[in-house]
Structure 1
Amino acid sequence: MGKTFDSNRLKELTGHANPLEILNDPYMNKGVAFTEEERDLFHLRGLLPPRVQTMEAQLGRALDNFRCKPNDLEKYIFLTGLQERNETLFYRLVMTNIEEMLPIIYTPTVGKACQTYGHIFRRPQGMFISINDKGRIAELLGNWVHKDVRVIVVTDGSRILGLGDLGAHGMGIPVGKLALYTALAGIPPIHCLPVTLDMGTNNEALRNDPLYVGLPQPRVTGEIYDEMIEEFVLAVQEQFPRAMIQFEDFSNDNAFRLLEKYQDRICTFNDDIQGTAAVALAGILGALRITEADLCTQRYLFMGAGSAGFGIADLILRAMEQKGIPREQGLKQFRFMDSRGLVTRSRTDLRGRKSEFVCDDPPLTDLQQVVERFMPTVLIGVSGQPGVFHQGVVEAMARINPRPIIFALSNPTSKAECSAQQCYQWSDGRAIFASGSPFEPVTIAGQTFVSGQGNNAYCFPGIGLGVIMCEASRVTEEMFLVAAQTLAQMTAQSDLDQGRVYPSMQDIRAISLNIALAVVDLASKRGLAQRDLGEHAKERISAWMCNANYRNYANR
C-alpha cells in the first residue's frame, strides 16, 4: 500500500492539515511549479498535473490569459483571481509587466472595480470592520492570520477617487494600494493589511442594491464616527504596534481633520493629501527643468479646493520656505477655485482650509476669466470635474505662457479635467502636461508627446519602505518633500525631451529604493528612526525587499 500523509506532520511543516489546504493557500501555493520533492513532501501527487513547470512557463500562460480578456475590468478580475490563488506568481507578473499592469490593478480600472465591487465579489482580501463592531475592533484585528503587520491602508469609502461615496465597495482601494507596496517597493505581502471601515453609505443606489456587500444604512457622523476611528487607531497599536497607518479616500471634511489629529500621535499619513502632493511637486520640478524657471517665481492656480489641492499647495510652500520664501509671502502666488468660483475674502461660505488661501481678487466664477486675470504659470486640476479645462482655458494658458504647465490630476480617466490630446492640440504642442490617469502618446505636426502620469505610486511605496525599515515613529511632511525631490532628480533628460515629467515606471523599484534611503536618512537626522541601518542601509533594504521568487520547501 502507498504511504498516506500524516496530518500532524503536515501541519507541523506547513500549518495546514491536508494537501488541498496548501493548494488553497495563496502564500504557499506554487501550482504546477511544485517540485517533485515538494509533491512528495506535501502529498500533492495526483492533485496536480504530472508535469513540473517553471515560473517562466506559468508567467507566459498568465500573461496570455490576461491579454485575452475583452476589457480592463475582466483583466482586473483575472488578476484578482490570480492573487487569491498564487500570490507569488501574481506579484512576479505585475513586477515584470509594470507599465501594462499598473492601470489595471490601480487607476483607472480600480475605480470601475469599486463601482461594481458587489457584482464581481469573489472572496474578501482584507478586513471589513463595521460600525456594528464598535467596542471590539481589537478582537477583530486579532483574527488576521499574519501577526507582523507593518503597513495598513484603511478607507471608510466616503470618497473613492473622484467617484464619491462607494461605502464598503471602496475595499478595492486598500487592496490595490497594498499590492503596489509589494510590487513597487518589495514590502512582503504578509506585512500588509487592507481595511475598510464600514460606517454606512449615503449612496442610495448602493443601499438599494441587493448585491451591495456593506451595511445598507446611512453613514454615521459626529461623535460616534470619531469614537470608531479612535478605537481603530488604538486597536492597531495594540495588535500591530509596528504598523504604519495610511488613511485613504476619506471625504474632504474628515481627511485633513484626521490627519491633523493623528499625525503627531502615531505613525500615519494620508496619501490623498501628502502622497498626491509629493508626486505633483516632483512633476512641477520636472516641468521647471524644461522651462528653466524657478519654483519660487511661479503663479499657481488650482481648480478644486479640497484635500488634494491644499496638500499640493502646502508642500510647494514648504519647498519655497526651504529656499527662503516665507509662507505668508508665498501664499500670494496661489489661487483656488471651487464649484462656486474663486476663493476670495469676500465670500461668506468658506469652511476649513479655504480661509487660509483666500485672495482679494474680484469674486469671479469663470475659470477662463480667472486665468486671464491672474495669469498663472501652473494650472492644476484636482476638481473631479471632467472637461473643466476646456479649449478656452488651455488657449488662454498658452497665450500667457510660452510653455504652460497644465496638470489634470483627477482620477479616474472619466474625471480628468482634460485629456492629453486636448491639452497638446489646444496649446499647439507647447503645454507641459501631466495627468492622474494614463493617456496614450499624442502626435501633433509630426512631433510625439509622451505625457507624464502623476501617479501616487511613484512616492508612497518608497516612503512606506523607508518608514518601515528604520521603524520611524512618525511620518512627517518633510519626508514627502525629500521624496518629491528624489523623484524629480531621477527623471532623465530623455523623458523631459518627450514632455514627460516623470521617469519610466519600469524603474520604479530603483525609485522606491532611493526614496526609502532619503526617508531613512531624514528620519535618522530628525531623531525619528528607532532602528539604525548604519552605513550599509542600501544593501540592507535591498536584501529585505521581496522579489516574488518561489520558496524551496524541500530544502528547509
Structure 2
Amino acid sequence: MDKPSFILRTPATNKGTGFDCEERKKYGLRGLLPPKVENLEEQAERALTQFKSFASNLERYIFLNCLRDRNETLFYFLLGNNLELMMPIVYTPTVGEACQKFGNEFRFAQGMYFATQDKGQMREMMNNWPNQDVDIIVVSDGSRILGLGDLGTNGMGIPVGKLQLYVAGAGFNPSRTLPVIIDSGTNTKKYLEDKFYLGERHPRIPDAEYYPLVDEFLQAAFDKWPNVLVQFEDFSNDHCFKLLDDYRHKYLCFNDDIQGTGAVILSGCINAFRAVQIPLKDQRLVFLGAGSAGIGVADCIMSLFAEAGIPEEEARKCFWFVDSKGLITTTRGDTLTPQKKAYARSDYNHQLKSLIEVVRDVKPTAIIGLSGIGGSFSEEVVREMAKHVQKPIVFALSNPTTNAECTAEQAYSWTDGRCIFASGSPFAPVEYNGHTFVPGQGNNMYIFPGLGLGSVLCKAKHVTDEMIITAAKTLASFVEDSEVVTGKIYPGLNRIREISTKIAINVIEKAYEEGMATLPRPESIEALVKAYQYNPSYNN
C-alpha cells in the first residue's frame, strides 16, 4: 500500500480533514481530501450530529465502530466527551444486541481469535498482532454474554466494548489494548445453523480439552507480554470460579464479573447503608441469583463485616441466597457448588421455594438481583419488602435492560418513593409524587478502568482482594453525605476520568503497602498515572 493510502486507511494515523496544509503536502495527501482543514472539535461536532441522526441504537453502535475503524483519535475524543450518552451504545445494553447480530453486521476484524484448531500454535499466532506492546487483554469465551447466554464467537463485541471503556474511562492507550475471544465452540443451536456465524461449528468442548486450551492461551500471552493484565469477561459459572482460583495467584489477572461487579456493588452498599442508617449487623440481605456476580458481590460485602470486627460465622447469617430452586440451604437435598455452600443456610428445616416466600420470612433490608431474569422483582415482592423497612434497598442489577429484575419506575412507585435503587443498565430519571429520582447505576465501569490502570502501572504481581476493596471504597467516597441522604449512591459518570485516576492512585498505594508492586516506587504516584494517560489529540 502506498504511503498516502496507508495513512488514510490506518485508524491510528488517519486525521481525515484534520490534516493541515503542511501535512497534506508532506504525506502526499493533496487532492485526496476536501480543501477545508478542520480541528478535532469541529469533526466531533459533525460526528455527534451523524450519531444522533440514526433511528436505532444498533445503527448508532455500528456507526461508532466504523468511526473507530477509520479514525481512532476522533472516535475516542467523541466517546470521552459524550460518555454518558454513548456508553449505553458501546456497551450495555446495546452491545448485547450487537453481539447477537455479530455475524450479520460484521464489517471489520478487531482483536484476536484463538480456536480449538489453534492448539499448540497460540504463542506463534501472537506474533501476528501488529502492536508490539500490550498492557491489557480482555478475554472471553462467549459462553455467558451479559444475561443472553452462550453466544460463542459472537461475544467478541464484549471485549471490544470493554476496552473502549478502559481507554475512555481511565486513559489506557488504545494501541496497547487487545480484545480476545477463545473459541471453544457453542451450544447454541441457532448459531451453529446460522450461515453468517463466524465461529467454529461444533458444541463446546469438554473440560478435559477446555482448560488446557485456556492455559495455553494464558501461557502464550504472558510469555509474549510479561507485564500484561488479563481480564476474564463473561465466562460461564461452571468455569469462571475455577479459572480465577487457578490463575489469580499465578498471573496478573482478575474477573470483572466476579470481582469488578463485587466491588461496584460493595461501593453502592457502603453508601446505601449510610443512607438507611441500619447497623451492619442488623442488615438482612436477600440475593436473587447465585452465579459469579452474586457470589462476587456477597464476598466483597463480607469484607465490611470483617472490617467491623464481626466474625465470619455471624456475618454469613445476614445473607440469604435464592436460586432457581428457592432458598439455598444445606438441607434441601441437592448438590451445591463450593461457592453456594459458603452461603447456604443451615437454620432452615423447611424449604422456601420462591422469592416471595423468602421475603415474607426474612423481611429483608435489601434485595439484590443478579439473576438475569427480567421482572423477577414483582410488585408483590417489592411491596412486601417495603412493609417492614423504612428505606428499602432495591438493587435490580441484571443486564441488559430487558433482564432487569424491575424498572426504576416500578421500584419507586411500589415503595412510595422510599427506596434506595440501583440497576445494572441505565434508567432515566423518574418523576413520582412531585419528586425527581435519579436512579443509581451499579456499572462496573466505575471500578475496572481505575483498578486495571493501577495494577498495570505499578507492575503488580497480582490483583489482590485488598486492591479491589480499596477501589470500591474510593468510589464510595465520591458521594457526599448530603447526597447520600437523598438516595444518591453513585457519582455521575461524567466524572469517570477523575474517579478512575483516584482509584488507580489508591490501588497503587495499596499494592506497595502489600508488597505487590514491582516497579520502583516513584516520587509521585499521581504523576506516574497522569503521565501514562492517553488523551485523544492530533498534537500527540
Give the alignment's TM-score, normalised by structure 2.
0.98
Residue 68 (structure 2) aligns with: 83
Q: Is the 8 A contact 2:263 2:297 kept in 1?
A: yes
What is the aligned-residue identity percentage? 49
| Matching of residues 76-155 of structure 1 within 5 Å | 76-155=61-140
1:212 aligns with 2:197: yes
Name the aligned partner's letter for residue 354 of structure 1: K
Residue 306 (structure 1) aligns with: 291
User: Aligned-pair distance for 1:298?
Assistant: 1.2
User: Aligned-pair distance for 1:201?
Assistant: 0.3
Separation (CA, whole Å) in 2 of partners of 1:358 and 1:117: 39
My pick for the range that moved more, 93-102 or 492-501, is 492-501
| Matching of residues 280-319 of structure 1 within 5 Å | 280-319=265-304
Separation (CA, whole Å) in 1 of partners of 2:244 and 2:396: 25
Residue 18 (structure 1) aligns with: 3
Task: Name which of 397, 408, 411 aligns with 2:396.
Answer: 408
Residue 222 (structure 1) aligns with: 207
Separation (CA, whole Å) in 2 of partners of 1:532 and 1:428: 55
My pick for the range that moved more, 447-456 or 368-377, is 368-377
User: Aligned-pair distance for 1:493?
Assistant: 4.3
Residue 376 (structure 1) aligns with: 364
| Matching of residues 497-508 of structure 1 within 5 Å | 497-508=485-496
SS at match of 2:342: helix
Q: Is the 8 A contact 1:524 1:532 kept in 2?
A: no
Separation (CA, whole Å) in 1 of partners of 2:90 and 2:155: 14
Cα deviations by residue, 1:367-391 (Å, 9 ceiling, x for unpaired): 1110111121111000001111000
Cα deviations by residue, 1:168-213 (Å, 9 ceiling, x for unpaired): 0000000000000000000101110000001110000011010111
Residue 263 (structure 2) aligns with: 278
Task: Name which of 62, 68, 73 aligns with 2:47.
Answer: 62
User: Aligned-pair distance for 1:497?
Assistant: 5.0
Task: Name which of 256, 266, 275 aligns with 2:241.
Answer: 256
Q: Is the 8 A contact 2:400 2:424 kept in 1?
A: yes
Number of residue pairs the alignment of both structures matches:
537
SS at match of 2:322: strand
Name the aligned partner's letter for residue 355 of structure 1: K
SS at match of 1:241: coil
SS at match of 2:223: helix
1:474 aligns with 2:462: yes
My pick for the range that moved more, 499-508 or 527-536, is 527-536
1:448 aligns with 2:433: no
User: Aligned-pair distance for 1:525?
Assistant: 0.6
User: Aligned-pair distance for 1:247?
Assistant: 0.4
1:246 aligns with 2:231: yes
1:516 aligns with 2:504: yes
Separation (CA, whole Å) in 2 of partners of 1:156 and 1:495: 40
User: Aligned-pair distance for 1:498?
Assistant: 4.6
Name the aligned partner's letter for residue 531 of structure 2: A
Separation (CA, whole Å) in 1 of partners of 2:362 and 2:127: 55
RMSD value, Cα: 1.2
User: Aligned-pair distance for 1:350?
Assistant: 3.0
User: Aligned-pair distance for 1:287?
Assistant: 1.1
Name the aligned partner's letter for residue 391 of structure 1: E
Task: Name which of 398, 405, 410 aligns with 1:422.
Answer: 410
Q: Is the 8 A contact 1:495 1:503 kept in 2?
A: no
User: Aligned-pair distance for 1:495?
Assistant: 4.2
User: Aligned-pair distance for 1:535?
Assistant: 3.7
Task: Name which of 341, 344, 349 aligns with 1:355.
Answer: 341
My pick for the range that moved more, 90-99 or 359-368, is 359-368
Name the aligned partner's letter for residue 419 of structure 2: A
Q: Is the 8 A contact 2:360 2:384 kept in 1?
A: yes
1:460 aligns with 2:448: yes
Residue 33 (structure 1) aligns with: 18
SS at match of 1:400: coil
Residue 364 (structure 1) aligns with: 352
My pick for the range that moved more, 463-472 or 45-54, is 45-54
Residue 253 (structure 2) aligns with: 268
Name the aligned partner's letter for residue 401 of structure 1: V
Name the aligned partner's letter for residue 29 of structure 1: N
Cα deviations by residue, 1:411-454 (Å, 9 ceiling, x for unpaired): 00010000001000001001110000000111111011001010
SS at match of 1:422: helix
Q: Is the 8 A contact 1:26 1:86 kept in 2?
A: yes
Cα deviations by residue, 1:252-307 (Å, 9 ceiling, x for unpaired): 00011100000010000000000000000101111122112333431111000111
Separation (CA, whole Å) in 2 of partners of 1:168 and 1:280: 29
1:340 aligns with 2:325: yes
Name the aligned partner's letter for residue 496 of structure 1: V
My pick for the range that moved more, 313-322 or 23-32, is 313-322
| Matching of residues 160-239 of structure 1 within 5 Å | 160-239=145-224
Name the aligned partner's letter for residue 231 of structure 2: Q
User: Aligned-pair distance for 1:332?
Assistant: 1.1
User: Gaps (5+ residues) in structure 1?
Assistant: 1-15
User: Aligned-pair distance for 1:458?
Assistant: 0.3
Q: Is the 8 A contact 1:319 1:481 kept in 2?
A: no
User: Aligned-pair distance for 1:500?
Assistant: 2.6
Residue 321 (structure 1) aligns with: 306
Q: Is the 8 A contact 2:522 2:528 kept in 1?
A: no
CA distance change for structure 1 residues 112 and 325 in 2, over 3 Å: closer, same or farther?
Answer: same
User: Aligned-pair distance for 1:494?
Assistant: 5.6
SS at match of 1:195: strand
